[in-house]
Structure 1
């Protein structure tokens, strides 16, 4: 694969992860009826814009987008990790709602959010490192 295509593939993969996470969160709340807690709302605030930002970066081949995306991911990782921690310590419930108690096999909703933010962040770090090498 040509070197020029690889960064674009990273943007496409990150866009896909953000889109799946957004679709999943909307499915949990609107279709399955799981009410999001306060921490989930904050994670949504950080995830939803990433779909558009990453898709636009993919379309325009803007490989410097990691500067915008990484702060969103850092906040999302912190919130999701904290909510996952609450889940473990509080015996399966979140003190701010209850969605952490909902297990969607094999992991809970906050764990899924944590994985999504970590995958996007990893893609952006790789994009940043490759950009510095070029």
Structure 2
């Protein structure tokens, strides 16, 4: 199977679906379960929420070269998510967690299977979007 036509046809839709699920998940955690987001969670939201709108418009318009606009947001968001996750799960950045605001950044609202936290879920979403967009970049090259 040749992956290039598949990724060209479906990459934007897949990325949009991932961004939508991540956005709805973060809204569920904060608005339904009443988990107060910390400062780093807000930064991740600032980078994820526009992706829903941007990728949705790009998918409808079939913009093949939209990865240049998505990649900076997804790479930056993935970096913040990874930093946040390392702050929660390791002692590397423990001092920064206390200066995060009213809600400390090392609070684990969820801890599924001992490693899945909210920043981990955000990191997975950003990484998946980044990989799909990089595959779209590769598929557009001759």
3-state secondary structure, aligned to 2:141 = helix
3-state secondary structure, aligned to 1:101 = coil
Q: Does 1:124 align with 2:133?
A: yes
Offset at residue 4 of structure 1 (A): 5.0
Flag structure 1 segments of 5+ consecutive residues without an equivalent. none
The 8 Å contact of residues 12 and 58 in structure 2, kept in 1 or not, is answered as: yes
Aligned Cα RMSD in Å? Answer: 2.1
Offset at residue 5 of structure 1 (A): 5.5
Residue 31 of structure 1 is matched in structure 2 by 32
Alignment match of 1:105 (pick from 95, 112, 118): 112
Question: How many residues matched?
Answer: 132
Residue 77 of structure 2 is matched in structure 1 by 76
Equivalent positions of 1:1-80 (< 5 A) are: 6-80=7-81
Regions of 4+ moved over 6 Å: none
Instruction: Output the CA distance in 1 between the equivalents of 2:111 and 2:14.
Output: 23
